[in-house]
Amino acid sequence: MREPTFLILTALARAPMHGYGLIQEVAELSGGTLELRPGTLYGALDRLTDDGLVSLDRQEIVDGRARKYYRLTDHGDAALRVETERLRRSVEAATRRLALRPAFPAGPSVTGGPAIAGGVA
């Protein structure tokens, strides 16, 4: 599952949301590293709806414009739980590997250090 999909589903796990709310929530969940554009978001919502992961919850008229609220479906909930568990296992594996990594003294960086035999730095 790609990060935007994961974050959209995560945002919808709490409650139904409209597009602009989703854009804000995804930005917050990602720590500001992912800012969805409306076209990207609505394309993703169409795909997620087609896949049965989200559905239209309701529609309101605000300032003469339709505001659609989307909700996580049971299938979307299950998919999010599976992906969350997969990511948790990956983080645990990386954490274990990093804990086993030998401590090396700070030295020249790979890109700025001396060349190693064979021309590979």
Q: What residues have CB less than 8 Å from 3, skipping those under 6 apart?
A: 30, 34
Query: The pTM is what?
Result: 0.79
- Phi and psi angles of residue 24, each rounded to the nearest 5 degrees, phi first: -65, -45
Tens of pLDDT along the chain (121 residues) come to 999 999 999 999 999 999 999 999 999 999 999 999 999 999 999 999 999 999 999 999 988 888 999 999 999 999 999 999 999 999 999 999 999 988 877 666 656 555 545 444 4
Angle (deg, nearest 10), helices 3-14 and 38-50: 80
- Residue ranges of domains in the chain: 3-99
- For 3-99, the fitting CATH number among 3.40.50.300, 1.10.10.10, 3.40.50.1860, 3.40.50.720 is 1.10.10.10
pLDDT of residue 112: 56
> Is residue 34 within 8 Å of residue 4, measured between CB atoms?
yes
Cα–Cα distance for residue pair 90/82, rounded to 1 Å: 12
